Amino acid sequence: MLRRGLVFVAVLAGLWALWEAYRAFGVAVSLTWPFEVNGRTMPHIHDMIGQLFEPSRRNGPLLIEVLGKAALFTAKEAAVGFALGAGVGFLIAVALVHSTLLQRGFLPYIVASQTIPILAIAPMVVVWLGGRGLPGWFSVSVIAAYLTFFPVAINALRGLQSADPRAHELMNSYAASRWTVLWKLRVPASLPYLFAAFKIAATACVVGAIIGELPASIQDGLGGAILNFNQYYASSPESLWATNIIAALLGIAFFLVIVLAEKLVVRRAPEHFV
């Protein structure tokens, strides 16, 4: 654990040094490609972090307090979206694994659904769910679920199909029901595949929640903070970069939760399940 921590710190320090070195080089040679390098386009990292401990407005709370509350609000939306998307994705995989006909008929449409830009879907979801007695942030969770279900459905399907054929033959010889085969054989074999999908979905749901807050006109989350500080980027770029740092940390936190859950749940590789 200590070694991993030291490696993480070393990588972080290396990225910090690389950023500052590129910035210094760009300023020294007046670099203009692929973008002009200056204090507005590439602020110092220590200035971004320092901005978190400055007032968000005159006589107002510190920026880190404002962004902390916004991150918690977005985390709620993302967590609900993750649960919805993961549940729907798993149920789709269960349905497809039991029918080759369904796989051939619906799998292409599931794949095609991910070619539609999320910015085109988000306003529709907000309009569809508006005025139905649901909290305003729930539409954002549905948008986050849209980005979550696909990797879960595809990986879960692959995992449910990965069980040892000999184990299938054994359970069939005992006249095991489909339900028994599913929960005693297929689901345990699919766990490594599921958690691989959960790691992808954990960060995707955070991105979906932040994007979904924009058409939903929700100002309490990180999406609203990004939109707000974007208006003042020319005069205070550090505030927007600091918001991006908090958003990245939220995504990392979701990812680490999945990693911890994987260590607690997954004990053996799929080929060991019989």
What does the pLDDT look like over 65-118, one tens digit per residue? 999 999 999 999 999 999 999 999 999 999 999 888 888 888 889 888 888 888
Check whether the bond before 34 is cis (ω within 30° of 0): yes
Residue 191 has pLDDT above 80, yes or no: yes
How far apart are the C-alpha atoms of 138 and 21, rounded to whole Å? 43
How far apart are the C-alpha atoms of 181 and 179, rounded to whole Å? 5
Residue 34 has pLDDT above 90, yes or no: no
b (16+ CB within 10 A) / e for 122-154:
beebbeebeeeeeeebbbbbbbbbbbbbbbbbb
What ranges in 30-177 are assigned the alpha helix state H?
A: 45-51, 63-97, 100-113, 118-129, 138-160, 165-173
Token output for 15:
């990225």
Choose which CATH entry (3.40.47.10, 3.30.200.20, 3.30.1950.10, 1.10.3720.10) describes domain 63-272. 1.10.3720.10
How far apart are the C-alpha atoms of 272 and 167, rounded to whole Å? 11
pLDDT class of 270 with cuts at 50, 70, 90 = very low
CA 239 to chain CA centroid, nearest Å: 23
pLDDT winner (highest mean) among 84-98, 166-180, 213-227: 84-98
Nearest to 67 by CA among 204, 228, 217: 228
The amino acid present at 171, given as its one-letter code, is M
Q: Is the dihedral of CA 229, 234, 237, 241 positive or negative?
A: positive
For residue 225, the SS3 value is: helix
Residue 205 has pLDDT above 70, yes or no: yes
How far apart are the C-alpha atoms of 113 and 120, rounded to whole Å? 12
Residue 268 has pLDDT above 70, yes or no: no
* CB of 80 closer than 8 Å to CB of 141: yes
